[in-house]
């Protein structure tokens, strides 16, 4: 099924081509219209501004070759194309410069205090660990003291996502080691990973130890990011000071599972909203209506995300310019502003 956004874009392109075919003005005006449309499309799809500049250089070389072959009229036409390509390239570079300047304006106001953020979902494989690891790195890039903890005791993989080797949480829980002994650091943030722990959440004693570790850690960091297992088995770890992001894919079954988790969290913690992952073409309004929660970020299904996972490095640390990284960084800015306003004090709901 064609998604609404793609349908609108397709209709815009078809309408433009229809108008262009019916245009009866001069050839120069037609060329200007084509390049104006190319500029607008490049803005919408964030086409690399180097491409039109390279096209301008190539066109000038071709024009010189044609001129040497005494094809003056064709050489002049190609030179005109080179001029338009260069104008588009300069304008796109100017827009990028202005965008970067606007993004650099965000500076956190001050130090945060004991924020605990749980990343959870109704089912596995939706991208919780991907989000948790990227959020932690994005927070660290803004000079926040942040730690990310793997609470998926059955199938942990935060160590892989963060490119570290450690079983720190297991050592803290089973061997009684201190937090400073078991935490490792990478990409500006601290990491508490683990090996699988049998019967982790079924063992009430282990559950209480996990809560104690989180409580101790939360006093040392500005932000604690908890990478939860799917479902509801670990929700007893959550208390009223914990804030929650629910991760879901746009499919109906994933949204239904997210709704079940939201219901299970009622009265325990404040659910801030939903992050839709692998969300190309997602109907955001429909998701918000189904869950009665705001969608705070829409993360695209990009090949770069999978490549970053294979490289064991969160994508925001590798490529700041891709859409996925920009969405994560905007989500982090939203969270920091929300906490700075004093609205993140663990209201239940």
Percent of the chain at pLDDT exceeding 90: 38
Residues 68 and 203 in one domain: no
Contact 217, 149 (CB under 8 A): yes
Cα–Cα distance for residue pair 218/334, rounded to 1 Å = 21
Residues 151 and 287 in one domain: yes
**267: containing domain:** 115-340
CA atoms within 13 A on the CB side of 113: 6
Q: Which CATH number goes with the domain that contains 163?
A: 3.40.50.300
Give the pLDDT of residue 329.
93
Cα–Cα distance for residue pair 70/75, rounded to 1 Å = 9
In 3D space, the residue among 75, 3, 21, 85 whose CA is nearest the CA of residue 47 turns out to be: 85
Is residue 287 included in any domain, yes or no? yes
Highest mean pLDDT among 27-31, 42-46, 337-341: 337-341
Give the pLDDT of residue 3.
47
The answer, yes or no, to whether residue 1 has pLDDT greater than 70, is: no
Span 137-150, average pLDDT = 94
Residues 201 and 228 in one domain: yes
pTM: predicted TM-score of the whole model, two decimal places: 0.69
Give the pLDDT of residue 170.
85
Quick: pLDDT tens for 258-287: 999 999 998 888 999 999 998 877 888 999
Place of tokens 């705070």: 296
Least confident of 133-147, 216-230, 245-259, 308-322: 308-322
Cα–Cα distance for residue pair 58/68, rounded to 1 Å = 16
DSSP secondary structure letters along 160-209 = HHHT----HHHHHHHS---HHHH-EEETTEEEE-----TTTTT-HHHHHH
């Amino acid at each position: 099924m064609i998604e609404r956004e793609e349908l609108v874009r397709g209709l815009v392109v078809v309408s433009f081509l229809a108008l262009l075919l019916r245009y009866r003005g001069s050839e120069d005006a037609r060329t200007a219209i084509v390049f104006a449309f190319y500029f607008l499309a490049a803005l919408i799809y964030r086409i690399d501004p180097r491409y039109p500049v390279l096209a301008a250089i190539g066109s000038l070389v071709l024009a010189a070759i044609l001129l040497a072959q005494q094809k003056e009229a064709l050489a002049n036409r190609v030179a005109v194309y080179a001029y338009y390509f260069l104008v588009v390239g300069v304008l796109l570079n100017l827009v990028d410069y202005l965008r970067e300047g606007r993004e650099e304006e965000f500076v956190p106001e001050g130090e945060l205090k004991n924020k605990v953020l749980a990343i959870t979902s109704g089912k596995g494989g939706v991208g919780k660990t991907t989000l948790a690891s990227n959020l932690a790195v994005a927070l660290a890039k803004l000079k926040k003291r942040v730690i990310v903890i793997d609470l998926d005791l059955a199938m942990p993989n935060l160590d892989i996502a963060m490119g570290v080797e450690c079983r720190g949480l297991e050592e803290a829980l089973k061997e009684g080691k201190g937090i400073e002994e078991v935490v490792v650091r990478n990409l500006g943030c601290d990491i508490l990973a683990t090996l699988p722990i049998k019967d982790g959440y079924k063992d009430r004693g282990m559950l209480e130890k996990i809560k104690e570790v989180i409580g101790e850690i939360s006093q040392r960091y500005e932000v604690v990011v908890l990478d939860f297992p799917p479902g509801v088995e670990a929700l007893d770890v959550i208390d009223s000071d914990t804030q929650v992001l629910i991760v879901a894919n746009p499919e109906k079954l994933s949204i239904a599972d997210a709704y079940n988790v939201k219901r299970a969290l009622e009265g325990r913690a404040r659910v801030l909203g939903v992050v839709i992952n692998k969300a190309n073409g997602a109907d955001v309004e429909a998701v918000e209506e189904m869950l009665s929660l705001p969608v705070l970020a829409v993360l695209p299904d990009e090949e770069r995300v999978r490549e970053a996972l294979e490289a064991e490095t969160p994508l925001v640390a590798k490529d700041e310019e891709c859409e996925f990284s920009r969405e994560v960084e905007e989500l982090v800015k939203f969270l920091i502003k929300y906490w700075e306003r004093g609205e993140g004090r663990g209201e239940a709901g």
